[in-house]
Structure 1
């Protein structure tokens, strides 16, 4: 049990640690947690992604839950994590366990719990499950296990929210061999788009590339957008809760730009607050201010985005790492919904043209991040030491304010900022910076690294 550690988004580990025995312990802990919370005998969803081991682990979870008297619904095949969240709300379920390592390489797998509201689990929930971890009970299954369609109702909900005619739009879709295949591409096609498919087959090795939609992994998608004279490229990560967009002129868009474009498009016909993490661009604030809307800043981690979206009835919420949701939808990041939203925006005005207009009004976005290796057991000590060593200036510009929402976000007099925070998924400290130019971002990141490295 000591090897089971719930981080930012569940427990992930390499397959030498992520074993059937430990997965069954997590399932028993979840069963006991749900029973103590008054959900004994109710129905629980069990989802899983496209990894070679995921279906087997999902069957382990279903077996333990059914032995504890819970009915279980499984998808007919691997499916996007947001489809599981939608199924929880649509079917009024007690919650779900999802077997997924998201964008991690194939030697990883993971498990996350999603509560009955379909949103990302807050720490008190995951801590409750960890407190209940126990060896699985033995006996006969008294709960029923059955297969249902999760993806179909989820796509229908997405299309209701983004009711756009995509006729005449050409989209190159890259599933990265993940669970978005046959879901996101089919949803775009059903809305009228001409879809060119890439990596839309199941491959346990993900074609040799981790299913993470970053620029270095999407170079061929950018080439395909130009080759097919397409209007847009879309990629999902391994469990299709994240999204990336590719434009004909700019190639793979930074996640900050996706946020700004999506929020700007929604503001054309609606109004409402934006929820962003501390690591997401201040361009969101500029855009919101121009429309007299509020911005709510939260720590990194979609669970905090989800909580704030509900509390503030936000129009849009997300983080620069590619996870977003919108008003009227389950409070879970959703790469299928966001693919439709990006396509709807592009069908009215090309994304490159939209970026040109936003840059003319609010300037360019220049942001980047680096990592500093740091053992997990040193992270809090590093933050404590950093609190005593915060500088009066960074890279020659004076410090105006320090925000400790998540680590330390150092706000500078020229409008730039530097953020230092511990990673929730890896033994690293993250250093982020945003400024008026790429050179200035580089200088800030160098300064941030120099601040952190001596403290590790």
Structure 2
């Protein structure tokens, strides 16, 4: 039997291959055992799901397992973004949440996230405990409490959500827990309106396009912006489990429709969300993509100088050091983490950080849940444009000049073969040159991969993918031409040049 493993953001698999109802029941039982083992089962579990194929049926299965384990379930009445599911944990003071989503992955995938009671991604000690339970269940070392597959499918066909008494009668068992259908949107909307200056947004009379990329983020940004008085055009805001044949990942390459609309209609801003709306994508005036490494420093500067949120910042090892410059100027700490928003969330909770962000498009701020939220990110982008009356890239250039000049960041993915991956890993472990690109190396960081800090303030990071024979080379420099120069030299030195 294939081992079920939690990655950086939960368990994911190909539907009908390893992401099956049978495996889902095992993982759900493992979570139920963990929650009950913590003595928190009486608090209940929130269950949310996205727009992917069978996500609603998978959610029903998770709810069924939880109920048979005596755990009350707060089941979403419709597809939800991951941050809204996480927020519902706080609303209902639950023991945690299960979110059925594969986020920005291709349509053939689905996934399972466990969100603990602090409403952020599960830390390794929690996912480790769940994985231990999974192993025990697969080895028949723990008892399971769920209907067999034939009975469960029969129940799913004939019983509506909420028919838990009928389910229990069908199994000749007492109803030990209840299923409560919830809609967390009103409380979530009210919370965001307290974090963002909606009046300033309304006064600006902006034209904005919202692209939900067929994901569960539809019906959020448009509702809030239209309520404030913004003119909103919607794109891909309807369910398509195939995501139009692509991946629901908001990048410059996938948002050409938004770019064209802004160019043709002279819109001010485009806001995009990934499949479960925890990542953001921003298109600026003129139809130009704004990278997270450009937006995060601008947002940090805005939080400090406009919103009065002065405090430390936390970022992943792969994220721009422009954040470090801003923090130093204002006498604040920078907390660097391994890649994975769970570490960012931990610093938001424990270190008092006012902003946490990652170069892959995730962020959250002080006062919000410690989970990345693309909806909040989009609203903050509109707030910045509305309050400064200037486009984002122009503002980002102004911020860069104020804090020492521009930085240029880029990521290069280099694919190798499974046979060659280990030799490259061996070389990477020893990779510690005294000079790189003609500049002395001032430091070496190994919190995640190998990161070399140059005396010039430039840096290079190399990380291996945990699932594929792929290496990611991140570079940040003072001049655009140095990006290719440094990445090429690194590739040669660790054996990725052939």
Distance 1:218 1:454, change over 3 A: closer
CA distance in 2, matches of 1:22, 1:369: 35
Residue-pair matches, total: 456
Question: Partner of 2:37 in structure 1?
Answer: 36
Q: 2:304 aligns with which of 253, 259, 267?
A: 267
Question: Partner of 1:416 in structure 2?
Answer: 458
Question: Partner of 1:212 in structure 2?
Answer: 249
Query: Which structure has the larger Rg over C-alpha atoms?
Result: 2
Question: Partner of 2:181 in structure 1?
Answer: 147
Does the alignment pair 1:226 with 2:268?
A: no
CA distance in 1, matches of 2:347, 2:467: 22
Q: Check conservation: 1:409, 1:417, Cα contact below 8 A.
A: yes
Does the alignment pair 1:391 with 2:425?
A: no
CA distance in 1, matches of 2:48, 2:278: 13
Question: Partner of 2:106 in structure 1?
Answer: 105
Question: Partner of 1:401 in structure 2?
Answer: 443
CA distance in 1, matches of 2:81, 2:278: 7
Q: Check conservation: 2:416, 2:496, Cα contact below 8 A.
A: no
CA distance in 1, matches of 2:351, 2:115: 21
Q: Check conservation: 1:276, 1:295, Cα contact below 8 A.
A: yes
CA distance in 1, matches of 2:419, 2:36: 33
CA distance in 1, matches of 2:490, 2:473: 6
Paired residue secondary structure (1:132): helix
Deviation, 1:358, is 1.5
CA distance in 2, matches of 1:375, 1:193: 50
Does the alignment pair 1:64 with 2:106?
A: no
CA distance in 1, matches of 2:449, 2:62: 35
Deviation, 1:142, is 2.2
Deviation, 1:31, is 0.4
CA distance in 2, matches of 1:192, 1:288: 34
Q: Check conservation: 2:210, 2:234, Cα contact below 8 A.
A: yes
Question: Partner of 1:437 in structure 2?
Answer: 479
Deviation, 1:434, is 0.6
Q: 1:311 aligns with which of 336, 350, 362?
A: 350
Task: Map 1:189-338; keep pairs closer than 5 Å.
Answer: 189-249=226-286, 251-268=288-305, 269-270=307-308, 271-338=310-377
CA distance in 2, matches of 1:449, 1:253: 27
Q: Check conservation: 1:8, 1:425, Cα contact below 8 A.
A: no
Question: TM-score by structure 2 length?
Answer: 0.87
Question: Partner of 2:2 in structure 1?
Answer: 2
Q: Check conservation: 1:65, 1:71, Cα contact below 8 A.
A: yes
CA distance in 1, matches of 2:195, 2:333: 22
Deviation, 1:455, is 11
Does the alignment pair 1:355 with 2:355?
A: no
Deviation, 1:162, is 0.9
* Aligned-residue CA RMSD (Å): 2.1
Deviation, 1:365, is 2.9
Q: Check conservation: 2:290, 2:393, Cα contact below 8 A.
A: no
Question: TM-score by structure 1 length?
Answer: 0.95
Does the alignment pair 1:171 with 2:205?
A: no
Q: Check conservation: 1:114, 1:121, Cα contact below 8 A.
A: yes
Deviations 1:401-456 (A, max 9, x none): 10112111101122211101233464432211111122211111112222344699
Question: Partner of 1:47 in structure 2?
Answer: 48
CA distance in 2, matches of 1:240, 1:379: 33
CA distance in 2, matches of 1:397, 1:344: 40
CA distance in 1, matches of 2:455, 2:98: 46
CA distance in 1, matches of 2:112, 2:45: 14
Q: Check conservation: 1:236, 1:243, Cα contact below 8 A.
A: yes
Deviation, 1:230, is 1.5
Distance 1:214 1:278, change over 3 A: same
Deviations 1:276-330 (A, max 9, x none): 1111111111122222222111111101101111221111111011100000111
CA distance in 1, matches of 2:112, 2:469: 19
Gaps of 5+ in 1: none
CA distance in 2, matches of 1:455, 1:70: 54
Q: 2:145 aligns with which of 123, 130, 137?
A: 137
CA distance in 2, matches of 1:313, 1:371: 34
CA distance in 2, matches of 1:379, 1:28: 35
